[in-house]
């Protein structure tokens, strides 16, 4: 009898050591993530798939994250509440979509005339950005993380050339958020239109201009066929998407899965910036080759000056209303001054002195 007990023990031990259940707590965690985007949305949707795949492979199947696109959960901008209430353990969206709930969420995506992506990542991870974001999101029981950068977004597609500040007056433009408010102060008429209706609105002159993202995502929308001017950007120099995690759900994970999850989110965010760079380069080349009549322009200096001054004044107004806004804006602008000095001395000087030779 003794012999068979030992045999059983050996058997049980080997199952324990070589079986598929290898978690510290023996559990498989099945999570759900709600993303703002529709199914198979390029680049943005790749970031969530990339993250979920990394987590599953690194955890050997102990943490499985199902990604629900907006066609499934039916509420693209309900993602914040899904995560807050725990209906979904995770979300993927953009922090600036929540400015109606808390204005300060705005600053963790991008700011007009703000930092470029490498500058902004340095701010997030070394300049106090992550700590400020935590301060803003803590009250909702939500952990917020960078979720992928689009890179510098284009200023948009215009049917007519913009030669002066006067040309902005009465301009009907699809441009949501804070940038729209800046334009409104200069006499433009910003509107928001669902993405599915954008092409028709531009074609039928319901709007005179629109901004979307940049070559990475604009090309498939076809705007270049009906609006000949493509302007460089000012309003979203480095739009960072957002991963959200329900804090209680996170706290229930074993330490190793917590680490796997945070590293996977961080990597997926960086990866999306790299992918955006690639897709933009690739699609810009296609655009230039197939549509040589598209005119790439930058707004003239007086227009940029007016946009910048208006933006600055607006931000100042908001900072005066809320100490937290003031704290975030101070951190952002001080860091940007330092980081930009380096950008100017490094990449910018390099491009200026090497590229034209």
Residues within window 261-280 making contact with its own copies, judged by CB under 8 A: 263-264, 266-267, 270-271, 273-275, 277-278, 280
By the rule CB under 8 A, 121 interacts with its own copies: yes
Question: Exactly one of 196, 204, 293, 301 binds its own copies (CB under 8 A); which one?
Answer: 301
Only one of the segments 66-74, 90-98, 181-189, 294-302 lies at the binding site for its own copies (rule: CB under 8 A); that segment is 294-302
Q: Which of 12, 64, 68, 80 is nearest to 246 (CA)?
A: 80
Please, which residue, 34 or 63, has the CB nearer to its own copies?
A: 63
State the number of binding residues for its own copies (CB under 8 A): 91
Residue 271 or 322 with smaller CB distance to its own copies: 271
Closest CA to 145 of 106, 102, 100, 91: 91
Question: What's the number of CA atoms in the CB half-sphere (13 Å) around residue 338?
Answer: 10
Q: Which is nearer to its own copies, 139 or 289 (CB)?
A: 289
Q: How far apart are CA 264 and CA 283, in angstroms?
A: 27
Tell whether residue 129 is a contact of its own copies (CB under 8 A).
no
Q: Does 330 bind its own copies (CB under 8 A)?
A: no
Nearest to 203 by CA among 155, 154, 170, 157: 157
Q: Which of 5, 192, 194, 292 contacts its own copies by CB under 8 A? A: 5
Q: Mask: binding to its own copies, 176-215, rule CB under 8 A, as x and -?
A: --------------------------------------xx
When binding is defined by CB under 8 A, the residue of 58, 64, 226, 294 that contacts its own copies is 58
Asked if 228 contacts 104 with a C-beta cutoff of 8 angstroms, the reply is: no
Site string for its own copies, 217-236 (x = CB under 8 A): ---------------xxx--
Residue from 131, 166, 290, 347 touching its own copies (CB under 8 A): that is 347
Asked if residue 165 binds its own copies (CB under 8 A), the reply is no
Task: Give min distance, CB of 112 to its own copies, in A.
Answer: 9
Residue 222: φ, ψ to 5°: 80, 10
Which position among 294, 308, 314, 324 is part of the footprint of its own copies (CB under 8 A)?
308
* Binder among 28, 313, 320, 341 for its own copies (CB under 8 A): 341
C-alpha span between 7 and 182 (Å, rounded): 76
Half-sphere exposure of 113 (CA within 13 A, CB side): 16
CA dist 263 and 146 (Å) reads: 11
Q: Which among 210, 234, 204, 237 has a CA at the least distance from the CA of 223?
A: 210
Distance between CA atoms of residues 156 and 227, nearest Å: 10
- Give the integer Cα–Cα distance in Å for 147 and 261: 12
Give yes or no for residue 59 binding its own copies (CB under 8 A). Answer: yes
122 binds its own copies (CB under 8 A): yes
Is residue 291 at the binding interface for its own copies, with CB under 8 A as the rule?
A: no
Torsion of CA 296, 197, 47, 157, to 10 degrees: 10
The reply on whether position 133 binds its own copies by CB under 8 A is no
Beta carbon of residue 336, minimum distance to its own copies (angstroms, whole number): 10
Q: Is residue 295 close enough to count as binding its own copies by CB under 8 A? A: no
Contact (CB, 8 A) for 19 and 28 = no
Instruction: Measure the CA–CA gap between 28 and 11, rounded to whole angstroms.
Output: 23
Task: Assess 57 for contact with its own copies (CB under 8 A).
Answer: yes
Listed residue (333, 318, 322) closest to 178, CA to CA? 318
Name which of residues 233 to 262 contact its own copies (CB under 8 A): 233-234, 237, 254-256, 259-260
DSSP 56: H
How far is it, in rounded angstroms, from Cα 140 to Cα 178? Answer: 23
Residue 300 tokens read as 């003239």
> Which span (103-111, 188-196, 296-304, 319-327) binds its own copies, by CB under 8 A?
296-304
Under rule CB under 8 A, residue 349 binds its own copies: yes
């Amino acid at each position: 009898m003794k012999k068979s007990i030992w045999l059983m023990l050996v058997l049980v031990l080997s199952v324990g050591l070589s079986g598929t259940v290898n978690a510290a707590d023996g559990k498989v965690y099945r999570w759900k993530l709600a993303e703002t985007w529709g199914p198979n949305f390029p680049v943005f949707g790749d970031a969530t798939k990339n993250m979920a795949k990394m987590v599953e492979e690194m955890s050997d199947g102990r943490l499985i994250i199902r990604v629900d696109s907006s066609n499934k959960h039916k509420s693209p901008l309900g993602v914040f509440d899904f995560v807050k209430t725990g209906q979904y353990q995770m979300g993927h969206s953009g922090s600036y979509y929540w400015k109606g709930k808390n204005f300060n969420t705005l600053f963790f995506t991008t700011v007009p005339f703000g930092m470029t992506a490498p500058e902004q990542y340095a701010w997030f991870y070394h300049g106090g950005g992550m700590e400020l974001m935590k301060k803003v999101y803590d009250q909702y029981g939500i952990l917020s993380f960078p979720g992928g950068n689009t890179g510098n977004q284009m200023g948009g597609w215009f049917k007519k050339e913009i030669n002066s500040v006067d040309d902005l007056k009465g301009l009907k433009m699809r441009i949501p958020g804070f940038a729209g408010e800046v334009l409104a102060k200069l006499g433009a008429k910003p509107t928001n239109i669902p993405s599915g209706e954008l092409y028709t609105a531009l074609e039928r002159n319901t709007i005179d201009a629109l901004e979307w993202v940049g070559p990475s995502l604009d090309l498939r929308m076809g705007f270049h066929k009906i609006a000949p001017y493509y302007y460089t950007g000012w309003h979203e120099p480095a739009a960072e998407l957002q991963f959200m995690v329900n804090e209680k759900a996170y706290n229930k994970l074993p330490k190793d899965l917590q680490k796997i999850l945070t590293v996977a989110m961080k990597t997926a965010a960086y990866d999306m910036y790299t992918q955006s760079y690639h897709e933009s380069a690739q699609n810009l080349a296609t655009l230039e080759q197939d549509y040589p009549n598209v005119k790439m322009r930058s707004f003239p200096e007086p227009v940029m000056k007016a946009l910048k001054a208006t933006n600055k004044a607006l931000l100042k107004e908001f900072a005066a209303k809320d100490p937290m806004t003031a704290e975030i804006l101070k951190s952002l602008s001080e860091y940007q001054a330092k980081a930009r000095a380096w950008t100017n001395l490094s990449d910018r000087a390099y491009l200026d002195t090497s590229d034209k030779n």
